[in-house]
A and B are shown apart, each in its own frame.
Chain A
Amino acid sequence: MASETETQTAGEYIRHHLTNLTYGQHSDGSWGLAHSAEEAAEMGFYAIHVDTMVFSIVTGVAFLWLFSRVARNMVTGVPGKMQNAIEAVIDFIDDTVNGSFSGNNPLIAPLALTVFVWILLMNTMDLVPIDFLPWLASMVGVHYLKVVPTTDPNATFALALGVFGLMLYYSVKNKGVLGFLGELTLHPFEGKTLLAKIIFFMPNLILESVSLISKPLSHSLRLFGNMYAGEVIFILIALLYASTTTELASLDGIMWSLAGGLLQMVWAIFHILIITLQAFIFMVLTVVYMDMAHSTDH
């Protein structure tokens, strides 16, 4: 935080920015917010990242509020500007789903819409100046705040595991338990005779299991990695002028601040691409996994 930079080293500044506002049980048994990264780590599994929850719910509710408000006031004649914009998003999702999803399930398109817009909005929190919201929070006594939910693996894993669960559910529903197990054990080495099938059983199971497990992992880590890396770069650029605030009045301080500001802007502009691209990739993979779960021929 800018106001505390005199007392913070660069390492502390970075660690501070990468620590979630955690609510959980302290080592003395009482419940409350963690006051340091160490305390947060000690809380273990039964703890909640309050900032991740708040910002993901705020962005999600904003998305649903805006879209449902437009949906409620839909005009079938000449649409207004807002309706036009929403319709463009809906059309885009519908085209993508129609292009990649060959099954017949009316729930997949809304899933893709939710995933795309929600992730897009959560990623967009990255464009808010890095110290702005933490600074506001420090005013009301909250000393840790990570504003981008997608830089928290909890959020990206929740999304990916949700999609993975749906994939397993629809696979079993559409192919039956035996069909699903067959997919895991009869490919990629196909045996013509029963003996060959038995021989290939284990290698197939190992290979297919790896590819199955890698799906939610790569799905969530791709999003998390991109957003986390982007966030770290924002923090590093912020260090350029944060470390010179003590001598801000000097020419050096002014030059470093200008350079830092310029770099933040350049990275933010480039980051718009990553934000959109990662949301799009996550949505397309969701649709593709759903298509795999619905197609009966391997």
Chain B
Amino acid sequence: MINMTLALQLVVFGLFWWFAQKYVWVPIMAALEERKKGIADSLSAAERAKTDQQDAQKNADKLITKAKDQAAEIVAKAEKRGSAVVDEAKDTAKAEGGRILTAAQAEVDQETNRAREALRGEIASLAAAGASKILAKEIDATTHAKLIDDLVGEIKAG
């Protein structure tokens, strides 16, 4: 029963063992190990991403509150500035109005004075003419010039 087959089977067994080790066991184990590592890596990456996301959320919240505060501040400032501008404009307008009014008043006064002056001169010459007509002979223009001037001055003053 036992013959050379046994020896040949031993050789075949050894060859199969060697082949299984080199071309089956080692590559499969390497791949399984790599997968194990990959899974561990992705799990830790997911964990890291989660904490990163939480941090980012926190940061974003902070930024949003800050931005809201700033916006409120800016709005308040703008409102203040707006009312200031309106007040200023009101003041300027008021001052300008006053100025125009005074200028107009001054002009009116001036015109009035000028008209009065003109009227007075007119009345004086009219009075002088009337008086000279009444006192044509006795009044010599040269001798009585002083008298006439006084009269004119009186009218003017009056």
Contacts and interface: CB of A to CB of B under 8 A. Distances in A.
A and B are partners in one complex rather than unrelated chains = yes
Interface of A: 22, 24, 43-49, 52-53, 56-57, 60, 63-64, 67-68, 70-72, 74-77, 86-87, 90, 94, 106-107, 109-111, 113-114, 118, 152-155, 157-159, 161-162
B15 to A, nearest CB: 9
Contacts of B34: 76
A114 B31 contact: no
Interface string B120-142: 00000000000000000000000
Contacts of B3: 22, 24, 43-49, 154
Contacts of A60: 12, 16
A87 B28 contact: yes
Contacts of B24: 64, 67-68, 71, 110, 113
Contacts of A159: 9, 13
B82 interface: no
Contacts of A46: 3-4
Interface of B: 1-10, 12-14, 16-17, 19-21, 23-29, 31-32, 34-35, 38
13 contacts: A47-B5, A52-B9, A56-B12, A60-B12, A60-B16, A67-B20, A74-B27, A76-B35, A76-B38, A87-B28, A94-B29, A110-B25, A159-B9
Contacts, number: 116
The 9 closest A-B pairs by CB, nearest first: A158-B9, A74-B31, A110-B21, A154-B5, A110-B25, A71-B27, A68-B23, A67-B24, A114-B20
Nearest to A163: B13
A282 B43 CA distance: 40
Contact of A52 (B5, B23, B27, B28): B5
B28 A90 contact: yes
A68 B9 contact: no
B31 A56 contact: no
Given A71-B24, A118-B16, A153 B1 contact: yes
B25 A48 contact: no
Contact of B31 (A57, A76, A155): A76
Given A64-B16, A64-B19, A159-B13, A152 B5 contact: yes
Contacts of B7: 158
A68 B19 contact: yes
Given A24-B3, A70-B28, A154-B3, 11 more contacts: A43-B3, A60-B12, A64-B20, A67-B24, A76-B34, A111-B21, A113-B25, A114-B13, A157-B2, A158-B8, A158-B9
Contacts of A53: 5, 8-9, 12
A154 B2 contact: yes
A162 B15 CA distance: 12
A228 to B, nearest CB: 11
Contacts of B28: 67, 70-71, 74, 86-87, 90
A16 B94 CA distance: 136
Contacts of B31: 71, 74-76
